[in-house]
Every structure is written in C-alpha cells, then in structure tokens.
RNA sequence: UCCUCGGUAGCUCAGCGGUAGAGUAGGCGGCUGUUAACCGCUUGGUCGUAGGUUCGAAUCCUACCCGGGGAGCCA
C-alpha cells in the first residue's frame, strides 16, 4: 500500500490508505481519540475507537505528544462531523518518534517567541498555507513572464557598488583587497540584459541594510524585476497590472482552502481586475489633501497616504509621474513636463503599501551623466551602465515587485515576516 | 538614528509597596463524536540585568540589555 497525501483523500473515500506525517493535535473522549494529523498538504482527523484496535495501540494513540512523527494506516470515510468532510478511521499506528514538550502550543504566541522558533512555526496551519501560496505566486510570476517571451536573467548578488546610490548596503569582504556589497536591486543589470535579450526579468533576493523595523520591511527579501527594451512607462504599467492580476487569480484558483485557513476575505481578492486606477502624482496629491492624511505636496507618499489611497480605491492603484526630486537618478523625465519623472508606484489595497516601483529609464547619455553627478554618485562605478547609453541606446522601462509584500497582501497578513520562510530583520538573523 | 510600548511559570498574561497568581502546555485520573473538547487533581518562578530608595521592591527611581510597533528610507 502506498502513501496517500491528505489533499488527495477526497478521491480515496472508502479505501484503505497510508498517511505519513505528524500529530498536529489531539482531542480525547474516553474510549475515543481524535488525532489531527498533518502531512504538509493538509490536516485530517483520524479517529481511534477503543475495541476497534488493540488496547496497546489505543493507549499509544492517546499518549503520543504534539508533532510526534507517525505512519497511520486506515480507511478514508466521509463524515460531516469531521472538519473538511473526510476522516481517517485508524487501523494501525506506527510511531517513528514520540515527542514530548513541543514548544509551540495551539494558543496565541508573541512574535519574538514565534520568530525565534520559525523552524517549528512553519509547521502550523496558517504558516504552511502562506508558504504554499508564496510558492504559487512565484510560479505564477515565472509563468507570466515565460509565457510572454521573457528571458530569466538573474543578476549578481555580489556587486561592486550601489545600484541606486541611496540605500545602505551590506558590506562583505571580497577576498583580500576588494569590498563587495550585497545587491539591493538587480535593475541595472536587468537593463544590460534587456539590451541583449529584449524582454528579460531578474528574480532573486535583494538586501537592504536600512534600520527599518516595520511590518513591511525585511533586510533580505525577494524581488522580481522585468526590464523591456523599447518599452514606455505606459507599457510597463500594463505589464505590472497583468502580473498582479495573474498572481491573484492563480491563488484564487488553486488555494481556496489555504485562503480559508488564513480567514482571508476572498471577495476582496475576487474584485481585483484590470484596469487598475491610474492617477498622476498631482491627482493623488489633490485626493490625499481631500482625504486629510496630512500629506505634504512634493514629498514621497508616507505609509498613511498609501493606506488611504488603497482604501479609497479598494484596488491596486497606479500613481505615476512624480516630482523627480523624490525619485531615483535613472528615471527618465517627462517630455511634457521636465519637473516630473516617468515613474510609477503601484499601491496595494488593505494597507499592503507599495507593491511595485517602476519607471521608464533615462536613455540619453548626457542626461544620465548629469544625473549621476547631481546625485553625487561615483561615475566610474557606473561606467558599464553608461556604456548601455553609448552603444545602441533605446527607450526602455521596467519595474520591481516586492514578493513578500505581494504575498502578505494576497494572504491578508499584517507582517511581511510571515511571508518568507526564514525572515531576516533588523534584530533577527536566527534561526 | 529618533519616537513609543513592553520584558513575571515552557507559552499567553494578571498582579503595580506587605506570603508569586490565572489560563494554557506538561503529569495523573475520568468521559464513545470531539472541533481551541470538557471535568477533577497536580508539577512548574533568580518577576530582563545591575545599582539605588524603603522596615519591606515584581511593584518606585537610574542606567544598561533584549524585543514589539512606528518615523525616516524603501519593495
């Protein structure tokens, strides 16, 4: 007899199966034990009745501790009294390891405790659901780009200098003489790749040594960064819109149970459909002044501003054409108004914050050189990047989407640190 | 870096000058359909650390350490 996974139990009603997993929890009632078993694909109730199995097995089923590893043989049966509609009538129990004093109980725990026990916390129902959804979103992202003829062009993690010249970087020794930095963005390399392959995307971890400790920040997180030759700002706004819709729809299609376990209000996800509202920074400013968030015109959007915009539209909203002062040096200016940069932020609803930041890139060599100097950046570090404007420069654009923020939004989680297997934050590098 | 809140049993917390508490987890016993099961009993503590005030400090004061949330910056 072969192993059957819990998420396939529905197709095995009436059959004898073998479940290989762990004891999630137990409720006992005299001559009846209800063992909640998990195997990584779900949780199912297994029922053991005294008299139907050996006394020894019954006693053992009532004694083993939470997270004991077990192989259970039994008959799958439909029963409305069981959560999920099916349960396993236990016939035999093999205990690989009987566990005592598993640290994480089925009760509220504080974040410090849970994060310190992240290696175990991942076993809990909601955390497992988030990880499955994260995996699905990654797959949806890759499918989205692969299906559109993009080439995956991963950027280096070690870089000789800052990509954007703004964030604080993690410094590492690169053998004896050189210093290297952990990348904060693959974008500049993505631009080189786009000049070679046309449509590309970079997908990997990035690192920020900012001393940020908020529910939206990690020091190590994943970002997908498409870059498209001959594309305009409007082109990549379409692309970002399509990407977000694809991710949401893939999760809705494949993860109803996980969303239910997370108590996610799916009606809010079901109405995420293109087109997303597109407003200029100026229009956003007028709206924010009306909403009274304390927004100061000319500044970047603060977290309360982003939340207010998200709530106002109930949909990801694309804010484009920003004052160039608040945006990065590589963004192209708007020909219609040179005070504006051709950048776009996609702000998620429900307090998700900035999911995407993108722009049309400056493709003129002299403009870009001037911008690098104006920002006080070392020209020599950008020599290769400037070459892209010397040899066949073309209009091009791209964006970066923060994976954990997207996962947090779709899963309805408050903290991005629940949305990556092992989060790295300002105060935490363990486990 | 700044602002703010907190650190008491394995965990979640109450206690806020006068004998260290509850729930939960763990242990023992009971219960044939439980859904965070329930009922009875029970083990479990350098009250973050170091000073200080006081007859007496978990409680008040000071410093430090650790963590949460937020600002700035960003995805």
Helix intervals (H) in A117-225: 118-121, 125-147, 187-197
pLDDT at A396 over 90: yes
CATH of A6-97, one of 2.60.40.420, 1.10.3720.10, 2.40.50.140, 2.30.110.10: 2.40.50.140
Query: Residue A1: what pLDDT?
Result: 60
**Rounded mean pLDDT, A22-28:** 91
Q: Which helix (H) or strand (E) holds A313?
A: helix A303-313
Query: Residue A164: what pLDDT?
Result: 54
**Strand B atom within 7 Å of A390 CB:** no
A126 CA to B7 C1' distance (Å)? 27
A101 CA to B43 C1' distance (Å)? 14
CA dihedral A51, A52, A57, A62 (to 10 degrees): -80
Q: Where are the beta strands (DSSP E) in A175-304?
A: 178-182, 199-207, 220-229, 278-280
Interatomic CA distance for residues A94 and A60, integer angstroms: 10
**Strand B atom within 7 Å of A350 CB:** no
Query: Residue A119: what pLDDT?
Result: 92
Query: Residue A166: what pLDDT?
Result: 57
**Strand B atom within 7 Å of A294 CB:** no
**Rounded mean pLDDT, A61-72:** 91
SS3 A358: strand
CA dihedral A249, A413, A206, A427 (to 10 degrees): -170
**Rounded mean pLDDT, A174-202:** 92
**Strand B atom within 7 Å of A161 CB:** no
Interatomic CA distance for residues A47 and A27, integer angstroms: 10
Residues 195-224 of A with CB under 7 A from strand B: 208, 210-219, 221, 223
Per-residue pLDDT tens for A234-255? 999 999 999 999 999 999 999 9
Q: Which nucleotide is nearest to A113 (CA to C1')?
A: B11
A203 CA to B45 C1' distance (Å)? 50
**Strand B atom within 7 Å of A113 CB:** yes
Query: Residue A172: what pLDDT?
Result: 87
Neighbours of A70 (CB within 10 A): 24
Query: Residue A163: what pLDDT?
Result: 53
Domain residue spans of chain A: 6-97, 118-418
**Rounded mean pLDDT, A273-297:** 90
CATH 3.30.930.10 at A118-418, yes or no: yes
A113 CA to B46 C1' distance (Å)? 21
Tokens of A212: 């940020």
Which residue minimizes Cα–C1' distance to B25?
A: A105
Backbone angles phi, psi at A212, to 5 degrees: -95, 130
A106 CA to B32 C1' distance (Å)? 25
Residue with tokens 């725990």: A109
pLDDT at A6 over 70: yes
SS3 A412: coil
Strand partners, A347: A317, A354
Report, in ranges, which bases of strand B sit under 7 Å from a protein C-beta: 1-2, 10-13, 23-27, 30-38, 66-75
CA dihedral A308, A234, A148, A315 (to 10 degrees): 20
**Strand B atom within 7 Å of A326 CB:** yes
Residue with tokens 């990035």: A206
Q: Which of A182-191, A210-219, A279-288, A365-374 has the lowest mean pLDDT?
A: A210-219
pLDDT at A353 over 60: yes
**Strand B atom within 7 Å of A100 CB:** yes
Strand A178-182: give its sheet, edge to edge: A158-159, A178-182, A171-174
Q: Which nucleotide is nearest to A402 (CA to C1')?
A: B75
């Amino acid at each position: 007899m072969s192993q059957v996974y819990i998420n396939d139990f529905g197709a095995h009603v009436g059959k004898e199966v073998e479940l290989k997993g762990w004891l999630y929890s137990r409720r006992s009632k005299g001559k009846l034990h209800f063992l909640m078993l998990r195997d990584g694909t779900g949780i199912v109730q297994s029922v053991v009745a005294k008299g139907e199995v050996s006394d020894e097995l019954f006693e053992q089923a009532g004694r083993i501790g939470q997270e004991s590893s077990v192989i259970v043989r039994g008959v799958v049966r439909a029963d409305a009294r069981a959560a999920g509609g099916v349960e396993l009538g236990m016939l035999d129990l093999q205990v690989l390891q009987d566990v005592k004093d598993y640290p994480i109980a089925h009760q509220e725990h504080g974040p410090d405790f849970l994060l310190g026990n992240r290696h175990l916390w991942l076993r809990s129902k909601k955390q497992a659901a988030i990880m499955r959804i994260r995996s699905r979103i990654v797959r949806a992202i890759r499918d989205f780009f692969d299906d559109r003829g993009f080439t995956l062009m991963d950027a280096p993690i070690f870089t000789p200098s800052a990509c954007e010249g703004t964030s604080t970087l993690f410094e590492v020794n690169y053998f004896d003489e050189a210093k290297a930095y952990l990348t904060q963005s693959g974008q500049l390399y993505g631009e080189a790749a786009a000049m070679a392959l046309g449509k590309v995307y970079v997908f990997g971890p990035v690192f920020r040594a900012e001393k940020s400790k908020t529910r939206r920040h990690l020091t190590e997180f994943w970002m997908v960064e498409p870059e498209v030759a001959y594309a305009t700002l409007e082109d990549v706004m379409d692309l970002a819109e399509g990407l977000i819709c694809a991710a949401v729809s893939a999760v809705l299609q494949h993860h109803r149970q996980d969303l239910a376990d997370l108590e996610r209000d799916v009606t809010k996800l079901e109405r995420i459909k293109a087109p997303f509202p597109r407003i200029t920074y100026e229009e956003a400013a007028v709206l924010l002044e009306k909403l009274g968030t304390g927004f100061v015109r000319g500044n970047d959007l603060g977290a309360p501003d982003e939340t207010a915009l998200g709530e106002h539209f109930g949909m990801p909203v694309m804010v484009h054409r920003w004052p160039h002062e608040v945006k990065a040096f590589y963004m192209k200016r708007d020909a219609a108004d040179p005070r504006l940069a051709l950048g776009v932020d996609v702000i998620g609803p429900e307090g998700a914050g900035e999911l995407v930041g993108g722009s049309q890139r400056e493709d003129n060599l002299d403009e870009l050189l001037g911008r690098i100097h104006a920002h006080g950046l070392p020209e020599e570090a950008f020599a290769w990047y400037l070459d892209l404007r010397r040899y066949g420069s073309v209009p091009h654009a791209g964006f970066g989407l923060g994976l954990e923020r997207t996962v947090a939004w779709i899963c309805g989680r408050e903290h991005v640190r629940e949305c990556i297997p092992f989060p790295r934050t300002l105060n935490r590098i363990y486990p």
